[in-house]
């Protein structure tokens, strides 16, 4: 039996837990022409969508899940869909940034979903299954 | 006694309109990371309501690294 090199799963879970567990999170939408991504340390309005029914900063994220651990992969996913109701976003957008208002608007992650517009309707982001294979945020 | 006739309405960019007066269409966009469903209502060829629903199939995956001693 050989030894195995690697970062402990419990340590990875603790690291993820420190940024998501019980935190107040929001989700903001960004234009397809914007250049937001993992290099952004925090949320800002640069490149954010604007339009009827949309408030800068986006909407609150339902955060009822804690960082989970299966094997050595830790994972976390919002516990409900993210919904922007009755909005008009005429300029194409393709990304959502989930960020922590509890930690000076720290960028948790930016997720893309293809160019989209909405007119007087709803935009809904339905979350993947919260597990080690498909969770929205995973560290292995 | 008069009979009450209810007309199904839907809220649009032009206010509440009878659904029966609108042209309804749907489209799908399927990618490895997501599936998107778009539903559009048009009145005389003009979009008066369009919604989009995205199902995220998987999130972001990060791999931890260790340095060999």
pLDDT at res. B46: 96
Quick check: A56 and A21 in contact, CB under 8 A? no
pLDDT tens for residues A41-53? 999 999 999 999 9
**Residue A102, domain member (yes or no):** yes
**Residue A74, domain member (yes or no):** yes
Q: Which residues contact A57 (CB under 8 A, 6 or more apart)?
A: A26, A28, A43, A45
Question: Residue A16 is part of which domain span?
Answer: 9-34+42-126
Predicted complex ipTM exceeds 0.95: no
Residue contact B53–A120, C-beta within 8 A: no
Quick check: B13 and B31 in contact, CB under 8 A? no
**Residue A134, domain member (yes or no):** no
How close, in Å, is residue A77 to chain B by CA atoms? 8
pLDDT tens for residues A40-88? 999 999 999 999 999 999 999 999 999 999 999 999 999 999 999 999 9
B interface test, pick of A71, A120, A128, A134 with most B CB neighbours within 10 Å? A120
What is the number of structural domains in chain A?
A: 1
Residue contact B56–A125, C-beta within 8 A: yes
**Residue A111, domain member (yes or no):** yes
**Residue A84, domain member (yes or no):** yes
Residue contact A124–B52, C-beta within 8 A: yes
Tokens standing for residue A64? 């009822």
pLDDT tens for residues A85-128? 999 999 999 999 999 999 999 999 999 999 999 999 999 999 99
The structure's pTM equals 0.93
**Residue A87, domain member (yes or no):** yes
Q: Which residues contact A88 (CB under 8 A, 6 or more apart)?
A: A51, A52, A53, A54, A118, A119, A120, B13
* Least trusted range by pLDDT, from A22-26, A76-80, B1-5, B44-48: B1-5
């Amino acid at each position: 039996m050989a030894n195995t090199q690697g970062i402990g799963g419990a340590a990875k879970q603790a690291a993820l837990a420190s940024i998501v567990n019980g935190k107040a999170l929001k989700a903001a939408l960004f234009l397809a022409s914007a250049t937001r991504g993992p290099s952004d340390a925090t949320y800002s309005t640069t490149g954010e969508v604007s339009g009827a029914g949309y408030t800068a900063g986006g909407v609150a994220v339902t955060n009822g899940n804690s960082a989970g651990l299966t094997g050595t992969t830790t994972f976390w996913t919002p516990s409900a869909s993210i919904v922007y109701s009755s909005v008009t976003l005429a300029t194409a957008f393709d990304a959502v940034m989930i960020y922590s208002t509890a930690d000076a608007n720290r960028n948790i992650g930016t997720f893309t979903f293809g160019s989209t517009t909405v007119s007087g309707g709803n935009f809904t982001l339905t979350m993947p299954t919260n597990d080690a294979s498909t969770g929205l945020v995973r560290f292995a | 006694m008069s009979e009450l006739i209810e007309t199904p309405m839907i809220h649009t960019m032009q206010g509440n309109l009878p659904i029966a007066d609108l042209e309804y269409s749907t489209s799908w966009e399927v990618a490895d990371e997501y599936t998107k469903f778009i539903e559009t209502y048009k009145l005389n060829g003009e979009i008066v309501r369009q919604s989009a629903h995205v199902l995220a199939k998987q999130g972001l995956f990060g791999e931890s690294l260790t340095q060999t001693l």
